[in-house]
Amino acid sequence: METAFAEELAAVRPDLVPAFRAALPGARAAVLARLWRSLRFERLPGAAQHRLSGPEVRGYDVGAPKDEFEVWADGRGFRHPARLVGALGLIGGEGFAAELEHSTASLALSRAGAPPRGGGADRADAGLVGYEQSVVDGHPYHPCCRSRPGFTVADQLAYAPEHRPVVQLGLVPLPPSACTVVGDWPDSLRDGRGRLLLPAHPWQLREVLPELGFPAAEGPLAADPLMAVRTLAPVGGGPHIKTALSLRMTSSVRDISGGSVLTSSALSALLAAVTDRLGGDLLITRNLAAASGHTGAGSGGSAGGAADGLSPDLAVLLRESPEIHAGPGERVLPLAAVTAVPGGGDPVAWLGALARLAWPPLLRLLSWGVALEAHGQNLLVVLDRQDRPQRLVYRDLADVRVSPARLAAIGVRPVGLGGRVLDDDPAVLRRKLLGSLLGGTLSSLVAQLGGGVRTVEHELWAVVAQAAREAAGVLVAEDRRALLEQPLPVKALSLMRLAEQPPGDQWTLLPNPLAATRGGKSSR
């Protein structure tokens, strides 16, 4: 895979070949470090029969400290993640090994084309798009952090945000009878002849839609790709556009289900109404409109409004830009883009301020029955002129979980929702929030800001834990114990990529970093 990448790169961007080759050792180490974390904390079938050893790793550690990261299996040293998986013979691991190959080569390509690393949060004049595109390495814990099978090297250079392209979206014209629209579809996406214009990703236009018979695209609409690749910000401003992209990136195929289209407005209205009760510390980016072409519409057929009649391959969501929640002199950035303290301040003080801002509204929402998937891509922070956290913004509403029973206790009834969004199981709600916020966002921030110095990490965890304890009074006893005392549930990211595993989320348990602190000081 690395050789194939190098050969294609030589044909399309020969100037990047030396940088790509130079980035390969570091990319192998970064992916291998993520895999080693999985081997330490997930029960990967077939791994237990081997003698494994490697560098010390804690559940919140991010990345590899050096290019020569090595893991030992049965007396043999490995520096390439895919070769390690092959040697372990993990049950269902052949496809996983191929994804690791792609992730490694793709990560090297991402690093080769990236500007000098200064940390996204240091780029005061970058704007939201600049911060989004500064996230070069992808998911901090997933070994498939840059796996994009289906994208060629040329595709990555043309569409991946870390390469900073401008993407030309196509506009697929459909009469109202051939699509379903939810919300207020803007006039700017109508052609003046009664047809709606559905934005479509150029990869989708090339690889998927021709076989489905939809009309040829018009346009184009120039847009900047954001961290999620298939979500883009129009160059001229306006709502962000979440497109269907029917290929697997990291873990999931990124199309848009009919159910997501049909419930988008109701879910947005519910979350806006509930978060309005928080007093402004946490805001959401509302879904403004959604649309999907009907299956069979391209061949002259017409499907109804039911979710099973909507095409997940030609669907789009329009949502508010997080920047509308930033006032004069303020800036907003996803927490995944924070690799250094904004403004160069004290990391312990800064993270303490962020934790005191985050825990109260997110735990209050959990107590009310709304669990947000608050990982570093979905959760953004608004900073003032002195780079102090002012408020949080949450985007991408599709993966929240809502408890009708808990909401009923505060006089709210979810209407127009269904499927996986609704769940009264307290364990499901806790996993959704704690796995993403504590196991993802805050863990990666501690690792980034601590710089691998354990004593600093302990101080960072102490202020996070103190803020959590102060905010936990709103929780029922069972939720409070899960937050402060019990092992931390996180997604078993590698287990989920093994072919023999059932579809959907799989979970594992990590040591809870909040349980390791008492009275605001580390117990270690």
CB neighbours of residue 232 within 10 Å: 25
Confidence class of residue 113 from pLDDT cuts 50, 70 and 90? confident
Residue 146 near residue 110 (C-beta atoms within 8 A)? yes
Going by pLDDT thresholds of 50, 70 and 90, the confidence category of residue 504 is confident
- Give the pLDDT band (50/70/90) at residue 238: very high
Q: Are 369 and 429 in contact (CB under 8 A)?
A: yes
Question: Alpha-carbon distance 60 to 63, whole Å?
Answer: 10
Q: Which residue has the tokens 């497109």?
A: 243
Residue 174 CB-half CA count within 13 A:
31
Q: What is the pLDDT of residues 85-106, one digit of tens each?
A: 999 999 999 999 999 999 999 9
User: Would strands 389-394 and 282-284 be described as parallel, antiparallel, or unpaired?
Assistant: parallel
pLDDT at 122 over 70: no
Q: How confident is the model at residue 298 (pLDDT cuts 50, 70, 90)?
A: low
CA pair distance 354, 204, nearest whole angstrom: 38
Tens digit of each residue's pLDDT (9 = 90 or more) over 377-429: 999 999 999 999 999 999 999 899 999 999 999 999 999 998 889 999 999 99
Distance CA 176, CA 456 (A): 58
How would residue 126 be classed by pLDDT, with cut points 50, 70 and 90? low
The answer to whether 310 touches 293, Cβ cutoff 8 Å, is yes
- Type of residue numbered 25: P
Give the CA dihedral 106, 111, 113, 116, nearest 10 degrees.
170
Question: What's the average model confidence in pLDDT over 513-522?
Answer: 67
> pLDDT tens, 169-205?
999 999 999 999 999 999 999 998 899 999 999 999 9
pTM above 0.85, yes or no: yes
Per-residue confidence at 116, pLDDT binned at 50, 70, 90?
low
| In CATH, 329-484 is 3.60.21.10 | no
118 falls in which pLDDT band (50, 70, 90)? very low
What residue segments make up the domains of the chain, in order of their start? 2-147, 164-319, 329-484
Could you tell me if residue 248 is left (phi over 0), alpha (psi between -120 and 50 degrees) or otherwise beta?
beta
Mean pLDDT of the chain: 92
Sequential DSSP letters for 161-198: GGG-PPEEEEEEEE-GGGEEEEE---GGGB-SSS-EEE
> Is beta strand 517-518 parallel, antiparallel or unpaired with respect to 507-510?
unpaired
Given this model, what pLDDT does residue 300 score? 40
For 331, the 3-state DSSP assignment is strand
Rg (CA), the chain: 23
Note the pLDDT of residue 499: 83
**Alpha carbons 241 and 320: distance in angstroms, whole number:** 9
> In 3D, which of 293, 285, 215, 235 has the Cα closest to residue 261?
293
Rounded to whole angstroms, how far apart are CA atoms 495 and 503? Answer: 11
